[in-house]
A and B are shown apart, each in its own frame.
Chain A
Amino acid sequence: MINLLNTTRVTKWLVSGPPFLYLTLFFLLPSLIMVVASFRYPGDYGGLAPLFGVEPGKETGLTLETYRFFFSDFIYTQIFIKSFGVAMASTLVCLLMAYPLALLIAHSPRKHRDFMVLLVILPFASNFLIRVYAWMIILGPQSAFSLAVNHLLGWFGIAPVPLLFSSFAVLVGMVYVHLPFMVLPLYTNLEKHDPVLLDAAQDLGANAWNRFWKVTWPLSLPGVYSGAALVFIPVLGMFAIPDILGGTGDILIGNLIKDQFLGTRDWPFGSTLSIMLTIAVLLLAGITAMISRQGVRQ
């Protein structure tokens, strides 16, 4: 019996040990080191200053300096606010586009549903940069779309506007890249709704609008929340889309972090920004989990 118990325990460690060790070493430990790095001084040539002093007069050890610096200049708070704004706008546009589509798929004959879902995922399979690049072509100054838009604006007496390298282009890119993340949880939720509920509402005299607003929408809220989290969180940390499609003013948290690590090489401040982003993400994930749990309880 003792022997058997031992074999089970050995097996358990043989199976869970390797992935556990790997992720401890290359995920948990790096994350902890980033936390510590955010409290350190920057090195003379980028990177981090040594933790223990060798030369007199050099700043070593731990400090709250980077955090003080973050709050001392309003520009950083402003970039965080702007990033939240872009994430919020992208989430809303994704929701407005994804909801009708998810509803249509959920109400389609069962045999067509898988194919319609596949059609949503398929573009997602192409490389992320290719999907962003496609919008460089469409929004480019010489493109048919750009010319048409500016022609239209001309009728209203508005001077031509460049579409590419603008906040508008950033929003389009964000929505395009993250749309499937909104459609799928919505569809998974809507598909489970019992059609009898809508029939009952109709029998009780509810019109189409009320049937949607009073029955379908409240029941779909868990799907809305998980879709919103799946769009909001990656958009919040995105640097490549503003980098490629945005103008000079379109700097989000991700661009700021990238710049601290690869540009100015102020790693402690880059780590501080990353910690701030992590806290924001954890708070958002926590809030989403809390709201959807409440929804279930009702």
Chain B
Amino acid sequence: MNRSSWLWSISALVYAFLYVPLIIVVVYSFNDSRLNAEWVGFTLNWYRVLFNDEQMIRAAVNSLTIAVVSGLVATALGTMAGIAIHRYKPKLLPFMVITPVAMPEILLGVSLLLFFIQVMNLTLGMLSIIIAHITFCIGFVAIVVRARLAGMDESIFEAARDLGATPWQTFKLVTFPLIMPGVIAGALMSFTLSIDDFVITFFTVGVGVSTLPLQIYSMIKIAVTPEVNAVSTLLMLLTLTTIIIASKFAPDTLRGAMK
């Protein structure tokens, strides 16, 4: 066996390791059995159960609301942060933008819990979750927007200024249209990150409010039924669609986000 076929076989195993578990989840969502153990027959029953599960529907509505609101605010703030970091090279702001993204999620979760209860005296609920989600989404938007700006020719902005454009006009007519794909990609990323977040939501959620990941968590902790597989499959589909749209706007988004 030469080197290349050796590499190929290990890599094929790693790809299988990555995909087989998810395929199993999807396949069993159509399985006509309560147990996720063996294939019995095809059914759409678990999707029917899912769409009749009021708690789950309410959690989905909450998740979407939180994702849209925190996505919009984080996009506005993150775009500003991205521009500020690129243009003014501030010292503290890059640190403040990156750290909530880089540190273990649990730390942001518990420090916000402490802050909401002890200092703001806030009743935990939708608002506390939204505030928390904005905090970690800002960083991702800022990274994408900044990457977009870094790839641009500075002389465009100088030209606009030389032609007599005010800073606001330069922004509105030159900068913003140019960074638009980055902004949209950042918004879609915030949306997916918010919809998918479990850890930070877990610490900032109050009594009586639930989101999709929290609902999935309590289901797999208490009683596993293929309804979890069904909701997982739909959630995968939603995230996948968002990511495909995002990658159309900024092909480097995915890799930028991972770095």
Contacts and interface: CB of A to CB of B under 8 A. Distances in A.
Contact of B18 (A19, A105, A123, A262): A123
Interface in A11-45: 11-12, 15-16, 18-20, 22-24, 26-31, 33-34, 37
Contacts of A185: 259
B87 interface: yes
Main secondary structure of the interface of A (DSSP, over half): helix
A131 interface: yes
Main secondary structure of the interface of B (DSSP, over half): helix
Interface in A251-298: 254, 257-258, 261-262, 267, 270-271, 274, 277-278, 281, 285
B178 to A, nearest CB: 16
Given A16-B90, A20-B96, A130-B236, A188 B259 contact: yes
B134 A26 contact: yes
B105 interface: yes
Interface string B1-37: 0011011101100110111111011001000000111
Nearest to B87: A15
B22 to A, nearest CB: 6
B222 to A, nearest CB: 12
Interface in A157-190: 176, 179-181, 184-185, 188
Contact of B96 (A12, A27, A101): A27
B93 A133 contact: no
Given A120-B18, A125-B243, A237-B107, A137 B83 contact: no
Given A126-B232, A233-B102, A261-B203, A137 B255 contact: no
A149 B90 CA distance: 56
A129 B138 contact: no
Interface in A139-162: 140, 142-144
A14 to B, nearest CB: 8
B84 A97 contact: no
Interface string B71-109: 000001110110110011010110011011011111110
A67 B158 CA distance: 56
Contacts of B25: 130, 133-134, 137
A136 B216 CA distance: 13
A103 B248 CA distance: 27
Contact of B115 (A18, A33, A137, A261): A33
Contacts of B36: 137, 140, 143
Interface residues of B, number: 86
Given A19-B93, A101-B10, A179-B18, A29 B115 contact: yes
Closest 9 A-B residue pairs measured CB to CB? A237-B104, A134-B21, A16-B84, A30-B115, A19-B81, A30-B111, A142-B37, A100-B10, A130-B232
Interface of B: 3-4, 6-8, 10-11, 14-15, 17-22, 24-25, 28, 35-38, 76-78, 80-81, 83-84, 87-88, 90, 92-93, 96-97, 99-100, 102-108, 110-115, 117-119, 131-132, 134-135, 138, 142, 166-167, 192, 196, 198-199, 202-203, 212-213, 216-217, 220-221, 224, 228, 232, 235-236, 239-240, 243, 254-255, 258-259
Given A184-B255, A208-B3, 14 more contacts: A7-B166, A15-B88, A16-B93, A26-B135, A28-B96, A126-B239, A127-B212, A127-B239, A143-B37, A176-B17, A240-B202, A244-B217, A277-B104, A281-B103
14 contacts: A7-B167, A16-B81, A26-B132, A30-B108, A30-B115, A34-B111, A100-B11, A122-B240, A126-B240, A127-B213, A129-B213, A137-B28, A176-B17, A239-B106
Interface of A: 7-8, 11-12, 15-16, 18-20, 22-24, 26-31, 33-34, 37, 47-48, 97-98, 100-101, 103-105, 107, 117-123, 125-138, 140, 142-144, 176, 179-181, 184-185, 188, 208, 233-234, 236-240, 243-244, 254, 257-258, 261-262, 267, 270-271, 274, 277-278, 281, 285
